[in-house]
């Protein structure tokens, strides 16, 4: 290339530099004059107001602020816990000392990255950055918004690092004047600044990021469970112990297969599972491991189906796009086994569980994207995908799933355990328990320990009619507390009990455990159950139960595992000989069985309340969910009320319970139905002529009343009848047809047109006496 060619290239480069320089002529003179650094001299008051934000504290960069700068310098290894930066006061007034992190200095790893005049710092030190040059070239109002976006990005980056390390001082949007815990603040899902949790919903509605650029009206956003969604954005504290525990307790206990392989190869699903595990661990949830495994498996099954439909998909992040929503819906329907001909799902519950899983993992991924400045651009597509899930999933999938479950429940036949099967199972468990107890006393081995634990757990659940989860998660500390602390009974209450009840109080032990919704529910233990549990507790260390396992029915070699009560009950019913319907004996069915059998006892309101409290729910749940109206009770008792109401005999049931109410049709049902279906003889009535037969203004004539033939018994007959039915009169119960016919066969001298006359006479006499 000749010299003229090189000269042209050099001229072109110089022109390109001059056109790209932030000091070019395209930048207004006013903005060029405003450039400076944070180390410049003091500014006038008007200039300081322009550079500050309306919603933040007023900034000040006085000479006395140098000490504050040193104190507010945040080092990741300096402090032991996260702290909320406080608003300092001088002479009763708030002192301006708030500083903001610079994302460019923070990303470059500089030691000094906190500045009170952040805008001046950006214009003076980072004017070559694209975002800074953009807001410098805008109008003042537009420049303020762009500068706020840069400030928010720096705060996001710093806050994510501090939350991961768990150490440092955090600047919230509005700094408190008194010490406040960091858990009281959550990030806004739009501007991602830390807002007080009680004020989060109100801020979310008025946040600048919520408003659209083309209209002044805010975009409608769903604030349901806003705090929970905001908490998912925050990263958990990174700890090798937490990751090791997650791998040991969750991943290593999952069945290996294509689903687990998909989970292990997807970093986002693993990260989401770790966060859910830590949250449940902090809340002491007993089912934390099972919940985490189920959530990850649901997402893993979805990804396997997505990859079949779209082979280009590599991980779950690839479907976080609004255009991939239909693909996710199709894959979810395939996993749930959608049956097009019958228009229902084979596994409808999977569809209902998948929506919160997708929304939770998208919120988690948004938080991960905010950790790094380079991935901030990925937030908006994920939010669009999440919005479609929230708005359209119900109509596309969930509505049909709810209808499928409702139809299956509505058409399902209610099966309660047979009383004789429960008795047979009780005897079988009692015999097996004695054998297992003797075997463990002779040889303390893990196998004998496991056998006795399984039988004892089933016996506790069968005796107390407890939920399976409540029994298997009974804590050792609760049992030992009941063993050490004797019951403090009131003498007056004990004396009011019968001798049998007092003997039961001496022999039985009562242990209180945590039930559903945190209720305090009792567990009754008999003497043989107490002996078995005492032996199990004494040999825990010898058989290999981990010391950190706090549960009474602890699994071997597990830090927090227990035996599954529902599976053990199914196992015992399969091993028990002589059961007619072993599949009907289940945990919920046993609770419904005792609630239904309580109807036969005619318990009072306070007695029913005591039964419901023992079962671990209130009286309304006891009546409407657990207590089933079996067909026998409906036919034998409730139908009597309906038949009397149909025949207008409501007054005859006054003051009676269901056992005392009688009807004429109580014995011979077929004859009663036939008599009810026989048409009454029609009697002629005068014809009314009308030009319009359907005219409602012409009332029909009332039917003629049937003439009642009265029969009068003699004094001797009345004495004979009342003497024979004295027991029915005493119990205020009218005799039925069989009893009256038997009376007529024994006393043929009594003349009567039918057995109903005798019954009516006895019933009228009962009403007159009472």
Instruction: Of 295, 289, 260, 259, give the one whose Cα is nearest residue 277.
Output: 289
- In the numeric block, the tokens 């659209």 are attached to 212
Return the structure tokens found at 205. 């509605």
Fold of the domain spanning 419-625:
hpI Integrase; Chain A (1.10.443)
Burial of residue 117 (number of CB atoms within 10 Å: 0-12, 13-18, 19+): buried
Return the structure tokens found at 223. 């604030």
d(CA 694, CA 701): 15
The b/e string for 525-539 (b: 16+ C-beta within 10 A; e otherwise) is bbeebbebbebbeeb
Question: Which pairing describes strands 93-94 and 89-90: parallel, antiparallel, or unpaired?
Answer: antiparallel
Query: What is 272-327 written as a DSSP string?
Result: HHHHHHHHHHHTT-TTHHHHHHHHHHHHHHHHHHHHHH-TT--SGGGG-SGGGHHH
3-state secondary structure of 186: strand
d(CA 164, CA 82): 10
Whole-angstrom CA distances from 287 to 138, 317, 561, 592 are: 55, 28, 10, 24
Instruction: Of 656, 521, 664, 653, give the one whose Cα is nearest residue 602.
Output: 656
H-type helices in 2-65, by residue range? 3-20, 29-33, 45-51
pLDDT value at position 210?
39
Whole-angstrom CA distances from 335 to 297, 328, 354 are: 12, 11, 11
pTM exceeds cut of 0.85: no
d(CA 111, CA 73): 9
pLDDT value at position 294?
92
Phi then psi for residue 636, to 5 deg, are -80, -30
As averages over each run of 10 residues, the pLDDT of the chain (770 residues) reads 55 52 39 39 39 39 35 35 77 68 87 85 86 82 82 85 82 85 84 86 77 39 67 58 71 78 87 89 77 92 94 91 93 92 90 93 90 83 92 92 86 77 87 92 91 91 82 87 60 69 74 78 84 92 86 84 87 89 83 64 56 58 46 46 54 60 47 41 39 40 54 81 86 85 83 81 81
pLDDT value at position 608?
57
* Three-class HEC string of 398-447: HHHHHHHHHHHHHHCCCCCCCHHHHHHHHHHHHHHHHHHHHHHHHCCCHH
Instruction: Of 535, 232, 467, 248, give the one whose Cα is nearest residue 362.
Output: 232
- Assess contact for 146 and 31: CB atoms under 8 A: no
d(CA 552, CA 104): 55
Q: What's the distance, Cα to Cα, between the start and end of the chain in Å? A: 128
Domain locations along the chain: 6-211+223-233, 242-394, 419-625, 632-663, 715-769
Looking at the DSSP bridge assignments, the partners of residue 114 are 101
* Greatest Cα-to-Cα distance within the chain, rounded to the nearest angstrom: 149
pLDDT value at position 517?
73
Whole-angstrom CA distances from 594 to 408, 579, 613 are: 24, 19, 13
- Assess contact for 712 and 761: CB atoms under 8 A: no
- Assess contact for 336 and 347: CB atoms under 8 A: yes
d(CA 596, CA 586): 15
């Amino acid at each position: 290339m000749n010299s003229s060619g090189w000269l042209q290239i050099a001229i072109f480069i110089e022109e390109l530099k001059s056109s790209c320089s932030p000091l070019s002529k395209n930048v207004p003179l006013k903005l060029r004059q405003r450039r400076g650094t944070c180390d410049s001299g003091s500014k006038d008051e008007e200039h300081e107001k322009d550079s500050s934000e309306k919603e933040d504290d007023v900034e000040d960069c006085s000479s006395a602020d140098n000490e504050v700068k040193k104190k507010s310098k945040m080092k990741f290894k300096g402090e032991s816990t996260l702290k909320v930066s406080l608003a300092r006061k001088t002479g009763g007034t708030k002192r301006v000392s708030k500083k903001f992190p610079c994302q460019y200095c923070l990303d470059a790893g500089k030691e000094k990255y906190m500045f009170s005049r952040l805008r001046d710092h950006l214009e003076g030190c980072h004017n070559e950055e694209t975002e800074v040059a953009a807001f410098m070239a805008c109008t003042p109002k537009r420049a303020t918004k762009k500068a706020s976006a840069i400030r928010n990005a720096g705060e996001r980056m710093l806050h994510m690092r501090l939350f991961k390390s768990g150490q440092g001082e955090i600047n919230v949007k509005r700094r408190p004047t008194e010490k406040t815990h960091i858990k009281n603040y959550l990030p806004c899902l739009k501007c991602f600044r830390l807002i007080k949790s009680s004020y989060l919903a109100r801020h979310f509605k008025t946040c600048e990021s919520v408003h659209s650029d083309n209209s002044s009206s805010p975009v409608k956003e769903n604030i349901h469970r806003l705090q929970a969604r905001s908490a998912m954005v925050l990263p958990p504290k990174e700890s090798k112990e937490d990751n090791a525990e997650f791998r040991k307790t969750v991943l290593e206990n999952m069945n290996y297969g294509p689903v687990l392989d998909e989970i292990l190869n997807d970093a986002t699903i693993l990260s989401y599972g770790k966060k859910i595990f830590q949250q449940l661990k902090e809340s002491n949830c007993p089912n934390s491991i099972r919940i985490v495994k189920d959530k990850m498996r649901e997402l893993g099954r979805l990804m396997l189906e997505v990859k079949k439909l779209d082979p280009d998909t590599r991980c779950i992040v690839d479907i976080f796009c609004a255009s991939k929503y239909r693909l996710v819906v199709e894959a979810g329907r395939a996993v749930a086994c959608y049956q097009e001909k019958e228009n229902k799902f084979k596994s409808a519950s999977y569809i209902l569980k998948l929506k919160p899983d997708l929304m939770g993992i998208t919120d988690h991924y948004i938080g991960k994207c905010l950790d790094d400045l380079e991935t901030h651009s990925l937030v908006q597509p994920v939010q669009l995908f999440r919005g479609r899930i929230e708005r359209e999933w119900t109509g596309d999938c969930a509505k049909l799933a709810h209808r499928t479950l409702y139809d299956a429940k509505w058409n399902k036949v209610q099966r309660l355990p047979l009383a004789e099967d429960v008795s047979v199972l009780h005897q079988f468990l009692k015999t097996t328990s004695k054998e297992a107890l003797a075997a463990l006393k002779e040889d303390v081995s893990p196998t004998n320990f496991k056998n006795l634990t399984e039988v004892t757990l089933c016996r506790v659940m069968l005796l107390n009619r407890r939920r399976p989860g409540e029994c298997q998660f009974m804590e050792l500390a609760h049992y030992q507390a009941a063993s050490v602390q004797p019951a403090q009974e009131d003498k007056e209450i004990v004396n009011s009990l019968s001798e049998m009840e007092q003997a039961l109080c001496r022999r039985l032990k009562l242990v209180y455990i945590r039930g559903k919704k945190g209720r305090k529910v009792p567990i009754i233990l008999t003497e043989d159950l107490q002996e078995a549990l005492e032996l199990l507790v004494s040999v825990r260390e010898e058989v290999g139960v981990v010391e950190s396992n706090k549960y009474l029915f602890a699994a071997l070699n597990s830090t927090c595992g227990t035996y599954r009560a529902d599976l053990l009950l199914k196992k015992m019913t399969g091993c028990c000989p002589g059961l007619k319907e072993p599949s009907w004996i289940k945990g919920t069915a046993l609770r419904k069985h005792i609630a239904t059998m309580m109807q036969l006892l005619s318990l009072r309101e306070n007695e029913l309340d005591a039964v419901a409290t023992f079962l671990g729910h209130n009286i309304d749940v006891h009546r409407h969910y657990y207590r089933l109206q079996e067909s026998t009770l409906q036919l034998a008792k409730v139908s009597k009320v309906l038949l009397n109401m149909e025949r207008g005999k409501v007054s005859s049931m006054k003051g009676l319970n269901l056992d005392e109410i009688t009807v004429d049709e109580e014995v011979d049902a077929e004859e009663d139905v036939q008599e009810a279906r026989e048409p009454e003889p029609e009697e002629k009535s005068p014809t009314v002529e009308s030009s319009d037969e359907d005219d409602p203004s012409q009332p029909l004539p009332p039917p003629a009343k049937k003439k009642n033939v009265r029969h009068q018994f003699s004094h001797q007959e009345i004495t004979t009848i009342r003497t024979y039915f004295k027991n029915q009169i005493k119990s205020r119960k009218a005799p039925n047809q069989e009893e009256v016919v038997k009376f007529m066969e024994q006393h043929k001298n009594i003349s009567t047109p039918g057995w109903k006359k005798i019954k009516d006479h006895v019933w009228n006499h009962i009403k007159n006496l009472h």
